[in-house]
Amino acid sequence: MAEKLKRRGVAALIALAAMLLTLFASGGAKLSALRSEAENVFFSGEKGDGLSIYGDLNTRLDCAYNLGTIARRSGMEGRKELEAAMSAYDALVRALNEGAPKPSLAALNRDLTAAVETLYRAMEGQGLSDTDEDLAVRQYRNFLSANDTISHDSYNLHAAAFNQTLAAFPANVIALFAGISPLDYFR
């Protein structure tokens, strides 16, 4: 009798292990697929047309760089406002080149916003030429406009849905073991 119980116990343990392995493997794959869908919206847009947060972040980077060029041309080379804006620019460029949207991208976007706003205010007292002043105003408006577009992007809805799924049981346990983290929102 003890022999039969040992065999049944081992078989039950093997069956339980197989069920748990299947649950975690299939659950991890499904969570990865959901995350991938949201990442695709981040990079390519809801309809795959390129109207995306990734594209808007690149627009903001272009505007920030152009404002930096105007600031240098107006004699602001070496000023802390310009250095801070270019440092925030470089950090966001590096993070974007790493690939998938990471929680740090939203924070780096906020840092770039603060640094560019400070730079723009400092440029107002520089006595820019009429041409440079017009260019700076246009670049700054485009910079702000792209951020407004980001705040309304459908990626945020996809990220919210993914995070809600990730927070529920058993997805939260599966995510912990699979190393799947929540997505950040861009506001």
**Residue type at 184 in one-letter notation:** D
pLDDT one-digit tens code per residue, 103-156: 689 999 999 999 999 999 999 988 899 999 999 999 999 999 999 999 999 999
* Helix, strand, coil percentages in the chain from 3-state DSSP, rounded to 5: 80, 0, 20
Query: Considering all CA atoms of the chain, what is the largest pairwise distance in Å, rounded to the nearest integer?
Result: 97
Confidence (pLDDT) at 11: 59
Instruction: Decide: 146 and 116 in contact? Cβ < 8 Å.
Output: no
Residue 48 backbone dihedrals phi, psi, to 5 degrees = 75, 20
- Report pTM: 0.81
Residue among 27, 76, 72, 61 at smallest CA distance from 180: 27
**DSSP tag of 47:** T
**Could you count the other beta carbons within 10 Å of the beta carbon of residue 113?**
16
Domains and CATH numbers, the chain: 1-48+156-187 (no CATH), 53-152 (1.20.120)
Average pLDDT over residues 80-89: 97
Positive/negative CA dihedral, 93, 183, 49, 30? positive
**And the tokens for 13?**
């343990």
Percent of the chain at pLDDT > 70 equals 82
